[in-house]
Amino acid sequence: MEEIDSSTTWWRIDARDRIVATDDAFKRFAVENGTPDLAADLVGQSLWEHLAGIEVRHLYELLLESLRAGGRAVTYDYRCDSPTLRRYLQLTAQARPNGDVDFRSTTLEIEPRDVQPLLDAHRSAAPGLIRMCSWCKRLATPSRWIEVERAVAELGLFEADPLPGITHAVCPDCERRFMDAIGGSSR
Ligand SMILES: [Zn+2]
């Protein structure tokens, strides 16, 4: 029996942005990440059901438009953190002639971290929202975007119970990186 390489996962959307295929590694990743329901029913769902935040959705629109217009494959680094891990990943997206787009995500590095309850997707949240960059997973403070550990200290969240909710955004650094990757301009 062939060993599945869980450091790379793969999924495909069709020309109408429906997820039409994925590999077993993706399902396992979803289970490890605390979202087993995502693994079970992913095929047939719209990509857009899984993209949170207006800014992220806008950048994905630009990405898909560029790829389907004949643009070259796009590769960019991103993070997919959990309460106990920093995961550094790289995503490559490439269109096929029929309008399908293949996504391949490779894990570059995984670092354990002290538990960050703020990143627990299942916790109950207090009113009020903290903005998190969907790509680098840094949090917005009044002056800058910083790693969760430092943001918790800077925003005085050690004592907060329940913790505030998280809303997904894109930080200026990642927006610039992303626009460079797809070879466009955000302005
Ligand atoms: Zn970012």
Q: What is the pLDDT of residues 71-81, one digit of tens each?
A: 899 999 999 89
In a domain, 1, yes or no: no
Distance 174 CA to ligand 1 centre (A): 4
Ligand 1 centroid to residue 3 C-alpha, Å: 34
- Separation of alpha carbons 171 and 138, rounded Å: 8
Residue 187 belongs to some domain of the structure = no
In a domain, 69, yes or no: yes
How far, in Å, is the centroid of ligand 1 from the Cα of 152? 17
- 145 CA from centroid of ligand 1 (Å): 8
The answer to whether the pTM exceeds 0.85 is no
| Residue 17 pLDDT | 96
Whether residue 99 is contained in a domain is answered as yes
Report the DSSP pairing between strands 139-140 and 145-146: antiparallel
Under 8 Å between Cβ of 177 and 171: no
Per-residue pLDDT, 28: 72
Judge whether 3 lies within some domain: no
Domain presence at residue 75: yes
Instruction: Give a yes or no: residue 159 inside a domain.
Output: yes
Name the stretches of the chain with pLDDT < 50: 1-5, 186-187
Residues 6+ apart with CB under 8 A from 126: 160, 162, 163, 164, 165
User: What is the structure's pLDDT at 160?
Assistant: 81
User: What CA–CA distances, in Å, run from 159 to 84, 119, 155, 178?
Assistant: 19, 16, 10, 35
CATH of the domain at 19: 3.30.450.20
- Say how many domains are in the chain: 1
Domain that holds residue 73: 8-182
Cα–ligand 1 centroid distance for 98 (angstroms): 32
pLDDT at position 172: 96
How far apart CA 156 and CA 175 sit, in angstroms, is: 27
Beta bridge partners of 111: 86
pLDDT given at position 1: 41
Does the residue 178 lie in any domain? yes
